[in-house]
Structure 1
Amino acid sequence: MENCNVSCLSSDIGNLISLTHLDLNGNNLCTLPDSIGNLTRLQILNMAYCNVSYLSSEIGNLISLTDLDLRGNDLCALPDSIGNLTRLQSLKMVGCNVSHLPSEIGSLISLRDLNLVENNLRSLPDSIGNLTCLTFLAISNCNVSYLPSEIGSLISLTGLFLDGNNFCTLPDSIGNLTRLVCLHMTNCNVSYLPSEIGSLISLANLVLDGNNLCTLPDSVGKLYRLIGLSMNNCNLSHMPSAIWRLMGLSLEYLYLKGCHKSAESNFVYNVMKAAIWQVQDYRMFHPIHGFVNHSSIHLTWGEVPRWFEYQTEGSSLSVKVPPLVNQKIWSLAVCVIYIGSNSNEKCNQKGFFFLEYHINKVQRRSYLIGDRGDGLCREDQMFLKFTSMSELEGGDEVEIFITKCWHIQVKKCAAKLIFEVDEDTDDEA
């Protein structure tokens, strides 16, 4: 019955006692008849975008329900009887204007997916901690100002999305979420992260854009599975040295764009020097972990430090490897300065380019580099990439090409060969 412009369901629907799937998506129902509670074999109920403003308590009689989709309605609240749905695995309530969750939601012991994005919750009930099977929780843009410590009881959680709320920090119990893989909390007014965040041993993606963070706790160095860290438009003035150790173990992407205050305090140069020093550190080449040969950093900056010995205007560069006497090349650092190619177009468009490496005229590596577009049209952007080049020998020629640019204009590119010992990074310009 999807998109059938149905405005009323007959109470006779309650006679369909063998019904297992009911799709009412996109109708104009306003409410459901109380007889809906007779459908005790119903497993899937989709009533998204139905203009429903009230759910009767009889919904709690649907004891076989596993999936309930209520997106895009105007519910304000759920009946307490929702707690009877102990087989429910997925509850979607995006954009429902809900301002309160009953404590009975903690009785949904089979729940795995809870999507509450774009409501007006302000807080979560303490009983949320009973949902120990929950793997996905999204409460983005819900005006939440407080997270209960019980959130640390969600021991099965792998994805937690908190974007667009208004809390200054996370509870210490966040460290109990040892299965968490993705944590997104952009634009949350966060100014401090507890050291317990270092206990998130499964974390692969941490997105903190648009917060008031000046730094991160040293414990982030324990996040040995972290692949991506994004702190665009934060108030950064310092990065713990532990971050650079992660570049040798797991970290592939580090976004630090739009940190203008930080740039004024030589933050950008300190970031680049620290990263290069860490690449030189032989401990990065641990026999178990190996070297992450495609680590990259994104910054808002338009000047290449002079200790990049190979520099040019434009989008290509050639590097001639000098004779290697008692030296070993660990890596090649490439720096690309670019800006949006169409300044009159929308600045939130994405940009892309390919970064290619040719060794002795033979293409060896190619990477697709993307820019999410924040400020792309307004300011110079810097992309810094480290690529393992241990196979290079004296006399080899490495050619670097930036090709197939989409919404991006390359202004400069530069390169630096990184040796086992290299102290030529002391100057700031």
Structure 2
Amino acid sequence: MKFVDEVRIYVKAGDGGNGAVSFRREKFIERGGPNGGDGGNGGSVLFVADPQLTTLLDFRYQQHHRAKNGENGMGSDCNGRGAEDMILKVPAGTLIRDTNTGDLLVDLSEPGQTFVAAKGGRGGLGNMNFATSTRQTPRFAQDGTKGEEITLTLELKLLADVGLLGFPNAGKSTFISRVSRARPKVADYPFTTLVPNLGMVQYKDNLSFVMADIPGIIEGASEGVGLGHQFLRHVERCKVLIHLIDLGAEGEGREPLKDFDILNRELEKYSAELSKKPQVVAANKVDLPYARERLEPFTEALRERGVAVFPVSTATGEGLQALMDVAAEVLFTGRTDKLRVEPPAKPAKKVAVAKVPAKKAAVKQAPAKKAPAKKASAKKVAVKKAPAKKAPVRKAPAKKAPARKVAAKKVPAKKKAAAAKKVPARRTPKAPVKAKRKQGRRS
């Protein structure tokens, strides 16, 4: 069955029936009065989510849907028959948008959910409804209203819990065929999967979940390369994403780490919310000899980023149970501890931080030692050169110094001589006076 996940359709609700203009005409009854009945209501267009459907293929070939109109009113107080509603079944997870405005009208994400896309017209009233005491013979009736019409865009997003991502031929179809009862096409060439596949996984303790396998994504998918990234809408509802890395990929520029970065960039270009979902990284095809050689460098590279890698082999079943346990833990409990590992680069960074200041100190001390040496040599040069230039300047004041000293000595000599002459003159008369006073006191 062909898979179709986006269509555009036109829906038209039924018109309401017109009211009747009629009068009672019977034998021996001259003026029976009005007896025109009302018109019936038109049918509405409803969408119902059906969990048994997985594609919009039916709407690809029939794009116009019109509900029936209501019947017109009749005489003898007979009302017209109302039309039945048109019910359109769509897969669960269908988005209904207004094509003209692009607005999202409803998301039919739950089975049995109903949405009225176009409401039917209301039937008109017959003339019997307009009879009054002053207007006993109304000769008019009311017409029915028109039903709504609208152009809609139906977009399908599969309801899956776990989504598989990866490059073409990475082993996604083989993986879903081993863990579920899905039987997608498996071949040894790229783009084997052209449409999404759903599989019911029966887990432990009577737990189950739905897994979705989408076509491969390559670099430039956001620009339309390959199958584009239009199928990524089917994993937007997933709570966990399993990223399969092809360790055995051959070709120019194909490396596991490069493939991992390319796919994450494409996810971010499509939707920032999708790129932030929990992602379980699985390194596939470890059963190949040359794939084992790529496993260790790829694991170490992601370990530095703090991302855990789970080696698996979809061909032999190696590591699948451990991978499913981690995916189920994230899905049912919401814990993502096992998806992260402690990067070994943290202690290395601490050692590097400790060494860097030591190097910086050594660099700082080296110029510190050389700087004084340069300054000392500069001073020595200055000291040696300064006296050579200032020698005659210092000798000149040396000659003037004795002249100043001689003048200084002559001045105090005159003062001392004058003082020496005055001191004996003052002291000579005082000595006998004191002696006489002493003698007089004694006598």
Pick the TM interval, shorter chain: under 0.3
More strand by share: 1
Which structure has the higher relative contact order (CA within 8 Å, separation 6+)? 2
- TM-score norm. by structure 1 comes to 0.24
More helix by share: 2
- TM-score norm. by structure 2 comes to 0.24
